[in-house]
Amino acid sequence: MQPSSSSAPSSSFSLLDPRIQRWIWEKNWESLNPAQERAIPLILKGINDVVIAAATASGKTEAAMLPILTRLLAAPETPGCVLYISPLKALINDQWDRLERLCESLQVAVTPWHGDISASRKHRFLRRPEGILLITPESLESLLMRQGHALCDFLGGLAYVVVDELHSFIDAERGKQLQSLLHRLDTALSCLVPRVGLSATLGEMRMAAEFLRPGFGERVDIVQTENEGQEIRVLVKGYVDVAPPDKAPESSGSSDEPAGAQLGIASDLFKTLRGANHLVFPNSRAGVELYADLLRRRCETAGVPNEFWPHHGSLSKQIREETEQELREGKRPATAIATTTLELGIDIGTVRSVAQIGPGPSVASLRQRLGRSGRRNGDPPTIRCYCSEAEPTSDMTFSDQLREGLVQTIAQLQLLGRKWYEPPRGGALHLSTLIQQLLSLIAQYGGLTAQRAWSMLFESGVFEGLNQSEFAVLLRFLGEEDVLMQESSGLLLHAPLGEQIVNHYTFYAAFTTDEEFRVVEQGRPIGTLPLSRPVDPGSYIILAGRRWLVLSCEPREKLIQVKAAGGGKLPKFDGMSGKVHDQVRAQMRIVLSDHTPLPFLDKTAAQLVAEARSAFARHDLGDRTILRDGADVRLLTWSGDWVNDTLALMLTTLGLRSANEGLSVLVIKADGEAVVRALNEIAKAPPPIAERLVEAVESKLKEKWDHLLPPSLLARNYASRELDTHGAHGAAARILAAHRPGKSQPTLETEEASR
């Protein structure tokens, strides 16, 4: 941790147990930091729940654990315990080592609990449930199910629950599972156990408080600190992806050979990062493997030891831990090429800088990544962004003309500098997790009534959005599917399929990753695609360097049937870095309409931005919202992907095949007047009922247990997560308001053509 330079006396320090005070002095801390000063008295009171929000490596763990340990040490005759819930096993292992160093002298046990921990160690805790238990939500799920009514016997002394990396749970299946687990703990123990959430700063901290204690967020104390005035070093480097002369443009992206820009980025990473510890974040596992391989080869060619190590979820535990160890030990320089696996707070020691290839998944994600650097020796946080753009040609796509990937990166960095981060979206029903929690509750109690299940799941405030009659529809459907059965007494029990589901080792996890769908053309495999966006007959996907028309999507078989589609050249930027928020797209418009120089760009990036701004002005995009693009029509919403996906779906239901292409909604082979009529129809009617809008969507199975939902609830669940009908309705109205009827629609053209 970074101690404060202030020498003012600490009122919070005096509240701590003398043994903890001695430990602090032995560590040569000059003082407690601001988060610790403010959190210690709040947590010691044990009256309200507390959220501690601060940057990575700012001492949040100590801010929570120092007062909690003081409370435990104050009553040695009645040993208590603490649940420390973490999203990753790797984080548990990391905190285990960290907390053991603190707790060893205090004679407080620290017990890790996950799949890699021996049964004997777990049994020792069950026999003497004392100290700190480090656990994942999945392991806690198993514990509640297996211990059932015995929870009071071994968790009766539970004094606090600490949730690490709270922001990673919000608005996710695991987060809904966690909320339910915490309520089940309170119910089993017949008390409200104080909760402490540790989080990076979110766009809306009150949402974090409401998440920590559903229905009572206003009673949660928030301790939020920022590194005020801290310098951030930013550099954006641009690359033009010039295709080799012997490579046909239409085959771009279909080869495993790296493109020219990728080779240039790898060369700069090799030259710039060697000799110190860094993190590099491409936007995919394939990107991790590509750059790790390119950089390793450069080390071999130069005759120097390899300094570049891959890290992602598909690698073995041993390989991931080797990478973490290389970074942490600091015996020699090491740089990790990673996905989000190193975004959270695993201790990897001092990192000099972070490199981001392409736009980040979100502004909040960039902030997490940036927080990994600039921790010690007075070094400021440093981020290098690498952006690859298409070579200027006479047939550049709309996205390439506006340099979409580069402009999105700039917009994210500007919002980051203003300390704006995406707030949690909220509103998702997560009915898949509801099914899991219902089955888990039945296992925990050996059966329960429908009314008790309603009370535990809905009256608790954990789940929302269904009334009792709709819950009854779900229960009847689960009965028809042989998942549940009901005794004559009214008790709900597992039916044979329910028993099979609950007894499988995968049951404890509420989430599943986007599954890879096989993409096939007339029986010929094209590749695989993670289905994270709406894909239905008549829509388009991009794979293997081509655009494909979707003929059918079969979720249960994980199969997409396609045929080759026309449409000319593909954009260089594929938009796969993550769903983009409305505010980011609005900032992109500002970047394009502005003429202010951006000092953090290198020469190539500055030239690319100048080209994008020229195209923006040439097409009059500050005023125009409807543009002709060959046989197609483009709609400029400057909105995020939830709005664009929904507007495209609305237009498709009106007979106009449409697709979200990031900066625009593309209406395929459409007459401009027909598009305007459709927009008028959308804008004049009230926003549609979202679940009716998605009735025709075939690929609605998104979450783990969605296949157990009745069709009506499946539609509602999908719509709550994927659509923004009010936002799309407003976007249609804005497009029409800016449209100037009576004037010919402008046609997209390249700068070369305009000359």
State both tokens at 619: 């097409």
Torsional sign, CA 390, 392, 395, 400: positive
Considering the segment(s) 233-249+257-410 as one domain, its CATH architecture is: 3-Layer(aba) Sandwich (3.40)
CB 295 within 8 A of CB 269: yes
Shared fold status for 13-224 and 233-249+257-410: yes
Section 376-395 average pLDDT: 86
Distance CA 227, CA 9 (A): 21
**Residues 568-577, mean pLDDT to the nearest whole number:** 62
Mean pLDDT (whole number) for 529-552: 70
**What average pLDDT score do residues 622-642 get?**
94
Per-residue pLDDT at 544: 53
Confidence class for position 105, pLDDT limits 50, 70, 90? confident
CA dist 308 and 305 (Å) reads 9
109-123, 464-478, 522-536: least confidently modelled range? 522-536
When pLDDT is cut at 50, 70 and 90, the band that residue 751 belongs to is very low
**Mean pLDDT confidence for 21-32:** 89
Q: Identify the top-confidence range among 103-107, 146-150, 191-195, 255-259.
A: 191-195
Please tell me the predicted confidence (pLDDT) of residue 177: 97
Q: Which residues contact 341 (CB under 8 A, 6 or more apart)?
A: 90, 311, 312, 313, 320
pLDDT band at residue 752 under the 50/70/90 scheme = very low
Mention the CATH class of domain 431-508: mainly alpha
- Least confident stretch, 229-238, 350-359, 726-735: 229-238
Count the helix, strand and coil residues of the chain and give each as a percent rounded to the nearest 5.
45, 15, 40
DSSP state letters, 124-191:
HHHHS--EEEEE-HHHHHHHHHHHGGGHHHHHTTEEEEEETTGGGTTTSHHHHHHHHHHHHHHHHHTS
Closest CA to 212 of 70, 68, 85: 85
Share of the chain above pLDDT 70, in %: 88
Do 662 and 573 touch, CB atoms closer than 8 A? yes
Rounded to an integer, the average pLDDT of 517-542 is 74
Q: Which pLDDT belongs to residue 744?
A: 47
What's the chain's average pLDDT? 86
70-81, pLDDT tens digit by residue?
999 988 777 789
In the chain, domain spans? 13-224, 233-249+257-410, 431-508, 516-580+624-739
* Amino acid at site 1: M
Output the pLDDT for position 549.
83
- Please check the confidence at residue 568 and state whether its pLDDT lies above 60: no
pLDDT of residue 669: 92
pLDDT interval class at 755 (50, 70, 90): very low
pLDDT of residue 699: 80
Assigned CATH for 13-224: 3.40.50.300
| Four-CA torsion 433, 438, 440, 442, nearest 10 degrees | 180
Percentage, residues of the chain above pLDDT 90: 54
* 238: phi then psi, degrees, rounded to nearest 5: -100, 145
Residue 86: burial class (beta carbons within 10 Å; 0-12, 13-18, 19+): buried
pLDDT 10s digits, 663-673: 999 999 999 99
Whole-number Cα distances in Å, 189 to 3, 183, 478: 38, 10, 30
Q: Is the pLDDT of residue 251 over 50?
A: no
pTM: 0.86
How does residue 39 score in pLDDT terms, banded at 50, 70 and 90?
A: very high
